[in-house]
A and B are shown apart, each in its own frame.
Chain A
Amino acid sequence: MTTTTRPTVSRRISNALKQNRGRAAIIAALAFIFLSGLFTMDTGDWVITVLRGLAVGAITFLVASGLSLIFGLMDVLNLAHGELFMLGAYVGWTVYVRPDTFMDMALPVALALAVAFCAPFLAPIAGRLSLSVGASRVVGVVLGVIGFLGAVWAFRRFPLSIWDLEQFDKTPTSDSIALQQGVQTVPEPAAWTGSAVVAIVVLILGVLAIVAGFAVVRYRTRVPEPTNARNLIPIAAAVGAVVVLLAFGDPMTDWLYSISTTYRFFLALVVALAGGFALGALIEIALIRPLYDRPIYQLMMTLGLGFIVIELVREVWGRPEFSMPKPALFAGTGDGCPGEGLGGLFSGCSTVKFLDTRVRMYNEVFIITVGVIVLVIITLLIKRTRIGMIIRAGVQDREMVEALGVNVRRVFTMVFALGVGLAAFGGVIAGPALGLSPEMGSRVLLLALIAMAVGGLTSFPGAAAGAVLVGLLQQFVIKAGSTGIPLPWSDQPFQPSPSLVPVSVILLMIVVLLVVPEGLYGREE
């Protein structure tokens, strides 16, 4: 019997260091930068800077994780990811600040979904039409355009209580302020414009036409995936939602206004996650899937999609940037506030005194906690579940996974949906801390792309590590702008100007890619 000789721990560490010299050097340099802050600034300043860095890292991670999963598995760089993050923030804001509008919108959306879920049953019919290429395209586009116009017309006839961008007291901004001051009143419910029956029928027919147009183009020759009874489940769920909303819409709206903002905030998170998931699935099926053979078109498509989302948000919510009040759980003030030390974390105060500094419960503690929880959940998903196994295998060799009998395309749809869901969720998380603006997406996308490049593009732990490094570096440079970095050869401390903040992050990426071209967690090809 032979026993394998195990290398000693110190030998193994020195081997690992030798193989990863570049990585070790970068980690050591960054650790030096971050730790040297301890000697040039107050402990309190240092603690708050680290916490802020981790919080920025957490938000960046929520975007970068989806980007890297999608890029790793499907080779799709989703440039609309930042904008979907932003859209999530706006949708979450609506659920949180104007639940009446959200409930009003839910009815037509559920109705449209119920019809759209019938698509698997339309596909076989479309296949049997046996149209020529040209004819199917014409029919598809005509059906799509007519259906879209009809659906939009009908949508506006539904009773939607919306804000008036021209009047300040009815704008999103004033709603936010009213909620924050606790003076929010329940707006008057809106009424149907014209006949309710006509609106509902036209919406159903419109969506049906869009789906039919899509099916005609898509399933001209291809054998559609077999339909089975499971396809009825989403239809039944959506129809059920429509019935519930028609019957109990108004009492549910009143109830949403009566509950604590904490619960409403968590509802907003759930809606953003689920809505992002559904939207992501839709984008993958309708827009990304036809372009898998043409990566450049795909890139252009996601870029364009991002612009569309920005303009859509400007049109619906208006131009002004507005805020999102913090949920009650993290907004406590008055007696006994701010809380002290670790026990203060549970005092319900908005801020806690901790290691010579005031830490904000929401901006620092909550966001970092959420980031860690998501990291753990996704890591478990990838390491422990069958779909995670398929993702890890698919990153290396999609064809082989498919040849084993796995419907890789469905896994693609789910991963894309998960990524978009996480981004939208991240948008709501970021809302109360950063405020809302149509530009918030492109800023976080830049950080996320850099985090991805630093971590090694397709590596999920790499995206997490990259996000944390980017966040920390950004916050340290911002802090150094006010405290200054003492230079041995000069009396004047060096104070990086605000424009050096984005530069520093890009510099980090350049240095990392020069030293370890495959990224910190990447693998040499």
Chain B
Amino acid sequence: MERKKDNSAIKELIVPVTAVFIGLVLGGILMTLTGVNAIEGYKALIMGCFGRLEYVSETIVYTTPLIFTGLAIALGFRCGLFNIGCEGQYIVGLIGAAVVGAMDLGLPTFIHLPLTMLSGMACGAIWASVPGLLKAKFGIHEVVNSIMMNYIALYLSHYLVNGPIKDPGITSPYSREILDTAKLWRFFGQNSPIRVNSGIIIAIAAALFVYYLLFKTTIGYQIRAVGFNPEAARYGGISVPTNIVAAMFISGALAGLAGAVQIMGIQFKFLDIFAFQGYGLDGIAVALVGKSHPLGVLPSALLFGILQRGSQTMQMLAGVPKETIGIMQGVIIIIVAAEGIIKGWLPIRKILGTDKKAAGKEVGRA
């Protein structure tokens, strides 16, 4: 790896970049099919994301949770785990933050705010630990359990917000608004419609933290060793079960933090949800395109944040169905997952200088 450094960077990037490119071309084709000029469509997308200060703010608002869930899933991938349960961990994170944030304990901001955040993280971490423990103890695949936990979280939240944590003052199924001491700082004023807030700083800090954790600490090394080859890690004296639980715990905490930041910076209360918000699923695309690297997750999250935000404006301004973006996203994930499709492609093989090996082993466990 060290010997051919410049080439390896290209190797790492070529698949996601090509996949995104194919996705964009496909999006253009779909727009043309619906009778919209593709260039107009993409112009609407860019204008909708960066045309005005509010739009830039909204783009960042869309990006923030994707950074967290992208990091959560990337960290899981590094340990050979597929944390598909981010959706559920995000929901319990919302609830954890909404409940503690609304508690009037007479605490000052510098205690109440981190406490609220920690509560959301703890809920997510506990939620993720269940599949983690089941995997570590019984060897049950984490994917099925995570999916089950997603639905349990969804129904649990529905129950809670219609009963125990419902704001009695209003008829709608909302929880009580969190106190000012638990709210994140909005850059343009607490009541401003420009919603961008310090959540994005926390997200970037989280990315740096995960980078540090994975590549500069012992636990990070162990997590990666388990993901790379559990058998070898075990022979090397690394406890595989411990690291599986640890990775799921941290991953869940990140997904829970996504929920907490959403409550503390954007929603201020838990609003009843009837379907998954999609941040967990989008996080998978973010992690894959970011090559499961914490610093790759940042631009990747921004890309998908732009696409998500832009899909709305594309529909409004250019009449492009917003689902176009979803189709692109699905195709991008498939292509990155089956990187052999791209690596086996002749011009790409020439760039890579690998005419023989076209194996794909990166994503998750082989």
A and B together in one complex: no
Residue ranges of B at the interface with A (Cβ–Cβ < 8 Å): none
Residue ranges of A at the interface with B (Cβ–Cβ < 8 Å): none
